[in-house]
Structure 1
Amino acid sequence: MGEFKGRVTISGMITHETPLSDLCGAVRFVAPDPFSSIHGLTVGQEISFLAEDENGAREALESMGIAHLWDRETTKLSGGQQVRLVLAGALACSANVLLLDSPMQELDPEGRVAFIDALGILRQKRACTVVVADPFWSELKDYADRVLVLDGGKLTADLLPQDFFGARTHLAACNLLPYTGEFADREPGEAVALMKGVHVVLGGREILHGIDFALRSGELVAIMGPNGSGKTTAMLTLAGAIAPARGEVSRAGRAGFVFQNPYLQTATMTVGEELAFGPKILQWPQEEIEGFVGSGLAWTGLDPAACPLDLHPAQVRLLATASSNVHVSALVLDEPTIGLDTEGVHKVMDLVGVLLQEGKAVAIITHDEQIASVANRLVVINDGQVSYDGPPPGRS
């Protein structure tokens, strides 16, 4: 149990003295894990819980570019589509205080623009307060009225946007400087995972339409594309988690996969047990298991006795990444840097560098252009097909 001191007031209501039902009408919180906020069976049902009427519900979905998904089951949405739905719900509700924790971290560039535009329209329609904590600060800097800086659980600064974003020292202190690392160009080796003419059908709907893709040893490939385009489905198929309806998939060795939602692959109750889980399943010698766990703890900086369910999503993502590197020839990371500050991003990319030096192949699904720019190769998937396969912009 936690301890609370002081007073929190929202719209004139003292939170610890006000019924939760009254607070819910005044404030809306969006958590970093979008699916934990979704309760409806379909998109239309979910948004109807929050909007005043169907017109308002459809208008909110339209603002986030997912009006065409009204009848889609929420369990069949991509991660980015789930975020768009949750944000549409926040825009549709009558709350005059919106608290949004990393709302843009799983959105493609088009989705981030749509979200910011929708916020602007919302603020024109009604007086409301919006508080956003998000690593995509560059998209927000021209729209914010104030910047609050928290450090060690304390408010350390309350600045105008031009004063905060105009000073590199503030960005550095908050671990918000963009990733600037790079990987040396190297000639990739043999293909360790290969898809030829792959079609995937899920729930009676064809998701992939004849994908051809190769992942080679020592190669870093960035996978990009709009929300719902089939990126995750393609990589899950490559890793062997989804069987294709048609086409061929082959792998030389084991392929690891770190999910966009890392909680989906935690299987134990402590960090130490989680790191040891894979090696134990593979029946490693005890000495090797202990070495693997020790390396994972040193890299993540986590307490071995901590429960994964009690950790921040960014910490669980680091844990899942460390746990998945179990004698693999290829590792797929689905949005590995979302929710991470600069230090966390460097930590993930440093591990990627080590894997590449070991001759392993790494594929990163991302919406972060800066991360994609350091890859050896960029693959863009759009509407279930590869629309581009070549060097990232600026690299020959």
Structure 2
Amino acid sequence: MNDERKDHMNPIIDMRDVSFAYGEQADLALANINLAIDEGSFVGIIGPSGAGKSTLASILSGAIPHHYSGSLYGETRVAGLDTCEVTLTDIARVVGSVLQDIDAQMVASVVEDEMLFGLENFGVPHDQIEERVTAALDAVGITDLRDREIATLSGGQKQKVAIAAILALAPRVLVLDEPTAALDPASSRAVFEILREAQRLTGVTVIIIEQMVALLAEYCERIIVLDRGEIALDGAPHEVFAHSSELRAIGVDSPRTARVSNSLSDLGLVDATLPALSIDEAEELVRSALRDSGALAAANHTEMPYLRATTNEPPSRCLTEQVGNRAEGTGRDAASSPMVELHGVSFSYGPGSASVDGIDLSVKRGEILALVGQNGAGKTTLTKLLNGLLKPSAGSVHIAGLDTRTTPVSTLAAHVATLFQNPDRQLCRPTVLDEVAFGLELHGAEGPVARERATAVVERFGLPSDAAPFSLSRGQRQLVALAGVVVLDPEVIILDEPTSGLDYRECMTVMETVRERARAGAAVVMVCHDMEVVSDFATSLAVMANGRVIACGPTQHVFAQRDILKRACVAPPQVVALSERLASSADPSFAGITEVSELVNRVKELMTRA
């Protein structure tokens, strides 16, 4: 028994020398994994796409070897059960799983039936079923969805249904693969709160695969980093995120507060052996450094203009003249004319379903407009109105001057390209290169020309051109779908959660490509729940709640409207929140800072000046 196992004498998860290769592939998806997880612990697993995270989840849930074929070596025991010697049903009584592909997990058409399916199949006594269903729906905050058809739910709402259905089964181990990928910031935090409360009340072991590193740092007791099928780092959050440079090389992000503290430490400005993993920790670290150097200004507790929430703005107008981007009067040139215009747009699927109401928006060339807000606010519905898949019941939508009510979708497709929330719904060709070239061929490009242009984009994204798209990880499939959009060089790009499921490196590849297309003249409308991505890349921001736009303007201006963000279940990025805190408690010059490097430089300037 090695040193690790001396600390885990009776682990609920015990993996010894586990390796796995899919089908007849020679390459190992996991290699020599030795892992012990104590019962009742809360463990986060991170790593780049293709690192083996979902494979590890499949082994823990019994899907490997009972569902996926391949070569499995070593031994995995769950609650003492050898997963190779018991049935999948036996494992499922111990381990509850929430898959990365939520649609593949759903078996019923109505939320209540989805909840009942597992309970009835596992033989839960009938006198306990109603209590379990009600408690699980209430815990996840979706009691109002009980009678809804699953097909009418947003991706985030489906995610909550899947989590509720598993919680109702009361497993001893919960394995969740990217559970917050489609959730708004408040819902993402709510999921972690639900999991922590379940851990506290029932002693359930939580194993969560996730890219939201700030949440992992806050809630997990232990972080495991996978890279190329092996364990690269394993320890407490403060220990793991102290290796920010190593994590960046692997393709994993660190919380922005950790980046701040690590950068300050590297410059010798603070004496911090462990990183700051919360805004509270980062604020205290900076204040202490300024205090010790004599640079700490008297705290300014008066409200400053940049922090004031402007709730008296028109609730549903977001025309680009509001943010200084629209030329007025006659004689506007083509570059200043809006590529996307919505005037008084309304649409509803029916009672109880997502809708939009009275939307006014305008986006011009070179602009990246981010749509943010809670799940079910109408963001995805709005994107479908933009590409013509839906027609407004009131108002008008114009794309590149074309009225979507009277223009065929095939004609609109020559001007606007869409990346859907689920990339699997737009992949249909046998190889990556074929997939990326397909759109060009549909638009009339000759085969050799289409493949030449597709090859350049495939190489830009670092994708394997001859691979079958569905043999790739979820994040890589997202890149394939985006490559198929970018290669068309559209005038308008619609992105619905473009970074969902991507690792840090892939996220940067996607968003830098989007920024390049905007700089080349495209108008971009992006639905995004990752506020760090929005802060880094969006030039303007529209906040949606209950089908309406409740605030719009320059990104950082809107992020300062805390009351508006709260109404829409949106939290500002860590650096924005930290700069606000420091402007109030340390020095007013921190006001408006949005970048890690800018904040670090401001600390350096103040300390040098003191």
Give the TM-score, by structure 1 length: 0.93
SS in 2 for 1:264: helix
- Say if 2:247 and 2:254, in contact at 8 Å, map to a contact too: no
Residues 1:391 and 2:554 are matched in the alignment: yes
> Residues 167 and 275 from structure 1, CA distance in 2 versus in 1: closer, same or farther, beyond 3 angstroms?
closer
Residues 1:120 and 2:196 are matched in the alignment: yes
1:213 aligned partner, one-letter code = L
Residues 1:353 and 2:515 are matched in the alignment: yes
What residue number does 2:253 align with? Answer: 177
- Say if 2:234 and 2:240, in contact at 8 Å, map to a contact too: no
- Say if 1:179 and 1:345, in contact at 8 Å, map to a contact too: no
What residue number does 1:137 align with? Answer: 213
Which deviates more, 284-293 or 22-31? 284-293
What residue number does 2:77 align with? Answer: 9
Distance 1:223 1:206 in 2: 15
CA shift, 1:170, in A, is 4.7
Structure 1 residue ranges without an equivalent (≥5): none
Which deviates more, 359-368 or 48-57? 48-57
SS in 2 for 1:95: coil
Return the match for 2:473 from 304, 309, 312. 312
Distance 2:431 2:324 in 1: 38
SS in 1 for 2:477: helix
| Mapping of residues 38-77 of structure 1, within 5 Å | 38-51=106-119, 52=124, 53-77=129-153
Which deviates more, 302-311 or 79-88? 302-311
Identity of aligned residues (%): 31
What residue number does 1:324 align with? Answer: 485
- Say if 1:300 and 1:315, in contact at 8 Å, map to a contact too: no
- Say if 2:366 and 2:523, in contact at 8 Å, map to a contact too: yes
> Residues 156 and 218 from structure 1, CA distance in 2 versus in 1: closer, same or farther, beyond 3 angstroms?
closer
What residue number does 2:587 align with? Answer: none
Distance 1:15 1:24 in 2: 11
- Say if 2:178 and 2:209, in contact at 8 Å, map to a contact too: yes
Distance 1:347 1:24 in 2: 38
Distance 1:305 1:165 in 2: 36
Distance 1:169 1:367 in 2: 25
CA shift, 1:187, in A, is 4.8
Bigger Rg, which one: 2
1:126 aligned partner, one-letter code = T
CA shift, 1:153, in A, is 1.0
Distance 1:64 1:328 in 2: 40
What residue number does 2:346 align with? Answer: 199
What residue number does 2:452 align with? Answer: 291
How many equivalent residue pairs? 392
CA shift, 1:119, in A, is 0.9
Distance 2:347 2:390 in 1: 8
Measured against aligned partners, the alpha-carbon deviations of 1:260-294 in whole angstroms (never above 9, x if no partner) come to 10001112222121111111111113343122211
Give the TM-score, by structure 2 length: 0.61
Distance 1:19 1:98 in 2: 18
Aligned Cα root-mean-square deviation (Å): 2.1
> Residues 142 and 354 from structure 1, CA distance in 2 versus in 1: closer, same or farther, beyond 3 angstroms?
closer
CA shift, 1:302, in A, is 2.0
Which deviates more, 159-168 or 35-44? 159-168
Structure 2 residue ranges without an equivalent (≥5): 1-22, 24-69, 257-322, 327-335, 401-413, 559-591, 593-610
